[in-house]
Each structure stands twice: as C-alpha cells, then as structure tokens.
Chains A and B, each alone.
Chain A
Amino acid sequence: MHPAAAGPSSGLGLEADAFDEIARRVRRHVVRIAGTPHGCHLGGALSCVEILVTLYFDVLRLDPLDPRWPPRDMFVFSKGHAAAALYSVLVERGYLAEASLSTYCAAGSTLLGHPTRHIPGVEFATGSMGHGLSLGVGVALGLKRRGNSESRVFVLLGDGELQEGSVWEAAMAAHHFGLDNLCAVVDRNLGQNDGATESIMRLGEVAPRWQAFGWGVRTVDGHDFPALRTALGAVPYAAGTPSAVVARTVKGRGVAGIEGDPRSHYMTLSARSVERALRGLRNTGPAGPP
C-alpha cells in the first residue's frame, strides 16, 4: 500500500513523482499475477494502469477504510478482464492487503480472473463486456433521484468492448437523461482477444462516435499522468451532458517485448519471464503521438 493511501479523499495531493512510483508498483503486481498458474489478461491490464492510478489517487472521492462511504464516487470497472490491474491498484490504495494478491484464482479466493461481488471497493462484478456503462447509467440516475449531487460515476471500458451494442444503448440513455455525473473512460489500446481491434471489427476514430451520441469528449494520452489528471479532473465538460475520455494507450505497456502486441491479451508468464519482465519494467510516461 502506498504510504498516502489511507483515508477518504478525492486527490491525495501527491507529488507528480509519486504517481510514477505507484504505477511502477502496480505494474510489478500485475506482472507477478501473470506469473501465477492462471495467468491474466496482461496486455489490457498494463494499458490501463495510469488511468486507474489517476482515478484512485487523484479523482475518485472514496474511503478505503469505509468502502460503502455514502458520498463516495462510484467506479465501474467494465473491462473486468483486466482484473489484475484493478486488484493491484486496490492494494496500493489500501482496500486489499498485498498478500491477498498471492491468492489470485486460488482455491477459496474471491480474487478471480474477473472481479466477483465480494471484493472491498468493487461496486459491481464485471467481466461480460458491455454491462458497465449501463450500470453506470443506473447509478447516475439513482444519485440524481436521491438528491446526491456530490457523487459521480466513472466507468472504464475497453475499446473492443465498444463493439457490444449495449454500450451504445447506454450512451444514448446517458445523453437522453442528461447524466453529467457520469464519465466513461475508454482504454483505447487497439487490441482485443483475437487481434487488433481494427482488423476484428473496425472502430476507427472513437471520439466522434461519442460526440455523435451527445457526449462531451476529450482525447488524451492514456499513459500521461498530467494529461489524465487534467481531463478526468475537469468533468463534466458541459452541464447536463455525460463526459467521455478517450485514452490512447499501448497494450502491454511497460513490459518490453509485448508492448503494442495484441498477443499480450492473455498471458501466463514463466518464473523466468516474470523476473525478466520485472527487471525490464520501463518507467512509465506518455506514450507519445499516435
């Protein structure tokens, strides 16, 4: 757990360097999880590390000591297959003990390949694509109905997930109901199970699709902490309008040899590969221009 990670907050006032250090620690956890017998969705876990760290350490109002704290922001991890990254961030933020990661997918554990509903800090079990944004629509509507104008809902989606039709049902509804307390973040890592998103089912430019559905949209470098903090800290971009952040990312980010390779989607690493990956973990930082 990061030393600053206890207690309720949105934004812990961390120095810029601290985000890099947390991301490094998260990646180390993720790589070790990939070395367990079950393996993990490594590529898509590594691509969303900066997004998750920004949310959990700078944006979300939350209290790890009281996961059901009523005025908290709600987070829906719609790309549930990247569970290794979520668990690692929950460890760093103080929801889970670091030792719990060693139980990943083991007998009796609730830390499965996709998040179950029994994990502190996990609002919804996810893993089947295309549910999270709809859940977020319901939460956002409920918060408004209950007069809670403080809490917000953030939903992290994969880009392959945008092929699910229900995502666009939810996008339509969020605009129709004026859910400015809802923010979708798209991890645009260009990969999915069977290969490159553009070869499996072309998505093209993602941002204009959200704009066409009436959302306020920003596109950022999804590995650039200052850019992410600015974009996620500025929601809603317009009153009465839901917000989307399209985060350009690199699948497998940080591990030499698998970066940008859709084949990193699911991997089980040997002990030797884990050691090599840990030694070679790159410092995080902006991915650079597309």
Chain B
Amino acid sequence: MTGRTGEPVSAYDTGTILAGLYAADVASCREAYRATLVELAAADERIVCLEADLGGQRNSFQARFPDRYYNFGLAEANMVSAAAGLAATGLVPFVHTMANFVVARACEQIKIDVAYHQANVKLVASYGGIAGAAFGPTHHATEDLAILRALPGMAVVNPADAVETVEVLVAAATQDGPWYVRLGRDPTPVVHRQASGFRLGTAGVLRAGTDVTLVASGQSPVPIALEAAERLAEEGIAAGVLNMSTLKPLDTAAVAAMVRASGAAVTIEEHNIIGGLGSAVAEVVAELGYGRLVRLGVPDTFVDQGGTYPVLLARYGVSVDALVAAVRRLLTHKHTTGGMP
C-alpha cells in the first residue's frame, strides 16, 4: 500500500495474526480484535479488558488473563465511567460492546468521563453501521461516527479490514488518549495483502486515479469502492480509492489533494448520510471552495427491513451498483459544467 509511511509495528507479537489475515479472503474484525487484544495484553500489563455481557462465553482474554477481565454486565454507562476511573490509575482499558450500546446509550459518559478528561480509554465497538442486519435498529449504529466526531479529543477510527484493525489496535494501545474503533460483525473482505501502514489521521491511497476519487470508510464501503473502481476502469474511468479509516482527526490534506487531482469525489459509508464521512469530507470541500462531491450512505432512515447484511447494504444505497451509478452521474455533470468554478 502506498500513501502512508507506517512506523514499524512495535514489540507486540501480532505477526502470526497478520500472516493469517494476509492469506485470508475474508476475516472478521471482531475476531481479529479478540485475538489482537490478547497479544497486546501479553506485552503490556497495563491493558485490561472490559465487557458488558457481550464478551462471549469462551472469551479468550478472560481465559488468558482472568484477573484483568471485567464483565460489567448489562450496565454500559457504568462500564464507560469505570473505564475512565481505571485509566486514572494508569491502566489502559479496552472497552468492548456493540456500537449502539456504547455510543448511544453511554454517550454522556463518553463525553464527560472519557473525552473531556482525555482518559486513556479505548472503546472498541462491534456491530457498527448496519452489521447487525436483521437484528434491527436496536442493534444498528448509523449515528455513532457523527456523535463522536463532535467530541473534542476523540480519535475516531473505522478500519477497512481485519489487517488494518490489528494495526489500529496496536496504535491505540501505544498512543495516549481516548479512541473509538468501529468494527462490524461478519467476516468482510481482506483488502490489505500486506501491512496497511495505519497511522491515526492519515488516509490510505488504495488506488490511484485522476477522473474521480472514491472516498470510503469501513469494512464494507472500502471493498465496495475497490470493486467499483475496477468496474469503472472497464468503462475507461480512472477512479482513485482513498481509505479514510480515520474519521477524526480527518486527513484534510488528503481530501484537498484528491480534490485538486480529480476535482470530483464520491464518499461511501455505512452510516447515516448525516454527520459521518460524507459530512466530514463535505466540510473540507466546501471550505476549499472547489470540487464536486456526492455522498452515499444510509439515507437518514432507520433500517428496519429484513434481509442479509449484503442485501440490506445494497437496499440502502451502499453497493457497487450505487457507487458506479453515482460516479457516472457526477462525471456527466462535471464535464457539462467543466467541473471547476
């Protein structure tokens, strides 16, 4: 991968995990999280693991480090504040539950006890976006990124795949301060065949292309963007793909560079169209004063239809077809208007 100059990844023994992921077509980020946290904890005894009745009954961390594993039961608000308390004693709490239950339910605890205190707390959420699929809106989180993006000092990260997830977790363990790491549920395509070189606040250029830039964030949107770029190439459209895994701090320089290069961008995200990646990129583009932008994402609605995860993604506009169509429309418009002011 180009575009990021990752520093060598530390003393943490994640090599075995990564080697397995490089060879896999698909992998579950939440499983990568579980495996990685054990390795991180083996190297750093400050790391403790907090769960709220969603750690599973054969939890690998609990088995390996029973005295560093705290199950808080169904009490997420208490768990988040307690994590800030644990951090105040010098420990590094990794807090995991579903995205809705940590961000929406314990929002104020995140705001005050974690973000305002700049507590060294790592919130790792599974079931980000609509990964909960037919579990319904109670188990979806399509507002989490918008909420957390507005909290000063929060690092907000939405990895592209399991490989990047491992690297994100290493970075989170290494850097002081509050982080939110948003993961999905089911296995998703592994897009990195080598280290992603993740660095907080740095977008990854997955594919070069000067006609249009596809800006994607998350474990479904990024593979969708890569596939769409392939299909557009067959039509003679050179689409670049930017992996915007860090929502905050946003890589504004990468956005500016891409707009300068292609003059047109489409964002795609597994989140309400309001407040997430598309909004973040739009803020930059608007202040730049040039460039055209189309945003794809869940169209400000609750997803309460049945269906598998891929089916629901497609139905709500997060699909290769939708992305390709959006690019075609955008480029037509770009050419008719000249694209630039």
Contacts and interface: CB of A to CB of B under 8 A. Distances in A.
Given A131-B113, A169-B77, A176-B73, 10 more contacts: A124-B85, A125-B117, A134-B109, A134-B113, A135-B88, A136-B85, A138-B85, A139-B86, A142-B90, A172-B75
Contacts of B113: 124, 131, 134-135
A131 B48 contact: no
A129 to B, nearest CB: 10
Contacts of B83: 138
A141 interface: yes
A169 B75 contact: yes
B112 interface: yes
B78 A139 contact: no
B112 A128 contact: yes
Interface in B105-149: 108-109, 112-113, 116-117
Taking each of B73, B77, B108, which has the highest tally of chain A beta carbons within 10 Å of its own beta carbon? B77
A73 interface: no
A142 B86 contact: yes
Interface stretch (B64-72, B275-283, B299-307, B317-325): B64-72
Taking each of A74, A138, A165, which has the highest tally of chain B beta carbons within 10 Å of its own beta carbon? A138
Interface string A107-151: 000000000010000011100101100111111111101101000
B116 A138 contact: no
Contact of A117 (B48, B68, B117): B117
Nearest to A164: B77
Given A117-B117, A124-B88, A134 B73 contact: no
A132 to B, nearest CB: 8
A141 B77 contact: no
A125 B112 contact: yes
B84 interface: yes
A146 B81 CA distance: 18
Contacts of B81: 131, 134-135, 137-138, 166, 170
Contact of A139 (B73, B77, B85): B85
Given A135-B82, A173-B72, A146 B90 contact: yes
B67 to A, nearest CB: 7
Contacts of A117: 116-117
A142 B91 contact: yes
B67 A145 contact: yes
What is the predominant secondary structure among interface residues of chain B facing chain A?
helix
What is the predominant secondary structure among interface residues of chain A facing chain B?
helix
A131 B86 contact: no
B116 A170 contact: no
A259 B270 CA distance: 56
Interface of B: 48, 67-68, 70, 72-73, 75, 77-78, 80-91, 93, 108-109, 112-113, 116-117
A69 interface: no
A141 B116 contact: no
9 contacts: A131-B113, A135-B88, A138-B82, A138-B84, A141-B82, A145-B89, A145-B91, A169-B77, A172-B78
Contacts of A130: 77
Interface string A156-199: 00000000011001101100110000000000000000000000
Given A137-B78, A145-B91, A125 B84 contact: no
B245 to A, nearest CB: 29
A137 B108 contact: no
Given A166-B77, A173-B82, A141 B90 contact: no
Contact of A170 (B78, B91, B108): B78
